[in-house]
């Protein structure tokens, strides 16, 4: 059995690649940096094959598919883990069109492009697709709207795929963790601060106080974030357990947020205005 994992350089993707290799599975690990791929192979051994794969580049996806087809021989690709993702944070008024498009290019359009490219191989094996979503794909909070929008889209597409591919024997599962202790959030914070500092002074002033409070809330919960290994264990379940679920919710914060996502909008808005200290005009 073999699995392709995108975004395997760090965090959840890397932890999943190592976990699957340890159980004896063949792993194709998509990375953007060859050095990250070499380090992953060194850590995981001969069961891991690193591939340079930028999910936003059609030529890179086609190249990866060709390499995997050539490498598989008589075996089959039985799993696809769409893990590659980025976080673009900040007020939607300030986020640039370029950054907003990149948020969707990686988290949504990239996942869909990789899925389409590898469906013929997965159809042959009656394989499984695991899409990395987030509790942010269920509920959107201030200054996280771009990221949530990309995950809402991935959730909707996954629901459709799950039904469309059922007659072909392909299972589709969503992983919905809370915040994870991975480099993605540090990079997102740095990018948000840079974008915020470049904003016109009048817009900076409009959001400064609320953004500072948002940052303090995020930092306060940093020590409670889930480990990448814990999420990798759930991905393993989705790939191999006999009856995979449609969704796997992971983490205390995710379980706390799900009921909030189902509240009537007036109640939910009132709660978030209080938590994020958003004062009325």
In a domain, 25, yes or no: yes
pLDDT at position 184: 60
Check if 207 is active-site: no
177 contacts: CB under 8 Å, gap ≥ 6: 134, 135, 226, 231, 234, 249, 250, 251, 254
Structurally, how many domains does the chain consist of? 1
pLDDT at position 189: 58
pLDDT at position 53: 98
H/E segment holding residue 259: helix 252-261
CATH number at residue 249: 3.40.50.720
pLDDT at position 202: 82
pLDDT at position 203: 82
b/e code 202-234 from CB counts within 10 Å (16+ = b): eeeeebeebbebbbeebeeeeeebbebeebbeb
The Cα 211–Cα 207 span in angstroms is 6
In a domain, 203, yes or no: yes
In a domain, 123, yes or no: yes
For residue 98, CA distances in Å to 103, 105, 185, 195, 198 come to 9, 10, 19, 12, 14
In a domain, 119, yes or no: yes
In a domain, 280, yes or no: no
pTM above 0.85, yes or no: yes
pLDDT at position 113: 98
Query: Do residues 83 and 13 touch, judged by C-beta distance below 8 A?
Result: yes
In a domain, 7, yes or no: yes
In a domain, 40, yes or no: yes
- Residue count (the chain): 281
pLDDT at position 280: 77
**Which position among 118, 147, 152, 207 bears the catalytic label?**
147
Q: 138 is in which domain, residue-wise?
A: 2-275
> In which residue ranges of the chain is pLDDT below 70?
182-196, 218-224, 281
279 contacts: CB under 8 Å, gap ≥ 6: 273
Provide the 10 A C-beta neighbour count for residue 18: 21
């Amino acid at each position: 059995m073999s699995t392709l994992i995108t975004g395997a350089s760090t965090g959840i993707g890397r932890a999943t690649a190592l976990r699957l290799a340890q159980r004896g599975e063949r792993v194709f690990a998509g990375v953007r940096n060859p050095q990250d791929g070499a380090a992953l192979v060194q850590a995981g051994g001969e069961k891991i094959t690193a591939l340079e794969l930028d999910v936003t580049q059609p030529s890179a996806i086609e190249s990866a598919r060709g390499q995997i087809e050539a490498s598989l021989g008589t075996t089959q690709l039985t799993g696809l883990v769409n893990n590659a993702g980025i976080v673009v944070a900040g007020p939607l008024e300030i986020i640039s069109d370029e950054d907003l498009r990149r948020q969707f290019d990686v988290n949504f359009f990239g996942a869909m492009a990789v899925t389409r490219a590898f469906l013929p191989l997965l159809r042959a094996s009656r394989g499984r697709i695991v899409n990395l979503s987030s509790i942010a794909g269920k509920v959107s909070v201030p200054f996280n709207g771009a990221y949530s929008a990309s995950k809402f889209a991935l959730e909707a597409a996954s629901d459709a795929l799950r039904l469309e591919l059922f007659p072909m024997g392909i299972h589709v599962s969503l992983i919905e963790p809370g915040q994870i202790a991975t480099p993605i959030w540090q990079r997102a914070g740095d990018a948000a601060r840079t974008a915020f500092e470049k904003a016109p002074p009048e817009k900076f002033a409009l959001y400064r106080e609320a953004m500072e409070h948002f940052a303090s809330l995020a930092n306060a919960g940093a020590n409670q974030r889930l480990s990448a290994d814990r999420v990798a264990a759930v991905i393993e379940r989705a790939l191999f357990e006999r009856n995979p679920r449609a969704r796997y919710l992971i983490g205390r914060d995710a379980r706390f947020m799900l009921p909030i996502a189902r509240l009537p909008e007036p109640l939910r808005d009132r709660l978030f205005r209080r938590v994020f200290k958003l004062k009325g005009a």
